[in-house]
Structure 1
Amino acid sequence: MAYIEESLSKGEEIHEVFKLHWFSKIPMVIWIILALPTLGLTLILAIWEWLKLRSLEQGVTNKRAIRKSGIISRKTDEMKIGSIETVEIDQGVFGRIFGFGSVKITGRGISDVVFEKIDNPLEVKKSVESIEST
């Protein structure tokens, strides 16, 4: 949660930081399992997946929706709460069964912030919309 905390402006408070669903760790687990037949070569890919998950931050403050990714470099998508027009949920069949999905926040113009692999996307949508109304 380092980036979100570090980037807070005066009077800004963290409302919620969204957790990844356990399904997002499946690629890492597959690479670990494949390490035995590949004599450990896929462990590098497992470490890479783990680092990607560790470096992903997704949350909202009382002023912004924030998504930060990047292991060495940093890429952020941010949107002011007042600019939000729609909050959409994208869940496939497995997402509905296991309770994960993506939440797309669309703002004015062509900008959007997408929270991916989120645990309980309906609660995330409600959380973002409750901030918007205040």
Structure 2
Amino acid sequence: MTGEEIVSEGKIHWFVYIVPIISIIASFFLMATDASVFGFLVLLFGILRLISAFIVRNTTELVITNRRIIAKFGFIRRNTVELLHRNVESLHVSQGVFGRLFRFGTIIVNGTGGVRTPVPDIDHPLEFRRTALRLLDNREQ
């Protein structure tokens, strides 16, 4: 939009690579034993998950502008949610144990009309929410 500026961007955390990397490492140990066929399947699973994590990390966008919150997901099938600041009811952050330790979590953007958009594995979600709420508060003044 004209006059719109990006204030903050959310990035997918590097933790999405952990399960694929552990799977690939485990597959090498399995292939060195009598379970080589199972190890090969685990390796294939790990490689596919690694590719999937790479695609998700590089195609997911979460942006706060001075007018909107924008979330885009997907590579082949693209989903986009754009909410004007006046249509945002709340922002919720959900973090598990690993999320608290490594500073990532799911941000859920609740909009008017029942629009609920979860964005998983965002790096530093509390800071992102703080920035968004500061902008939303400034809009009301």
TM-score, normalised relative to structure 1: 0.80
Q: Is the 8 A contact 1:91 1:101 kept in 2?
A: yes
Gap change, CA 1:20 and 1:44, over 3 Å in 2? closer
Q: Name structure 2 gaps, 5 residues minimum.
A: 29-38
Alpha-carbon distance between aligned partners in 2 of 1:46 and 1:91, rounded to the nearest angstrom: 22
> Which of these two proteins has the greater Rg computed from alpha carbons?
2
Alpha carbon RMSD of aligned pairs, Å? 2.0
Question: What's 2:31 paired with?
Answer: none
Deviations 1:26-77 (A, max 9, x none): 2332344356431753323422321122111111111111111111121112
Deviations 1:64-118 (A, max 9, x none): 1111111112111221111111121111222222221112121212012323211
Counterpart amino acid of residue 25 in structure 2: I
Alpha-carbon distance between aligned partners in 1 of 2:23 and 2:2, rounded to the nearest angstrom: 43
Give the aligned length: 126
Alpha-carbon distance between aligned partners in 2 of 1:97 and 1:61, rounded to the nearest angstrom: 28
Question: What's 1:86 paired with?
Answer: 90
Alpha-carbon distance between aligned partners in 2 of 1:52 and 1:12, rounded to the nearest angstrom: 26
Alpha-carbon distance between aligned partners in 1 of 2:55 and 2:26, rounded to the nearest angstrom: 18
Question: What's 1:129 paired with?
Answer: 133
Q: What's the % identity of the aligned pairs?
A: 34
Q: Name structure 1 gaps, 5 residues minimum.
A: 1-8
TM-score, normalised relative to structure 2: 0.77
Gap change, CA 1:71 and 1:105, over 3 Å in 2? same
Question: What's 1:110 paired with?
Answer: 114
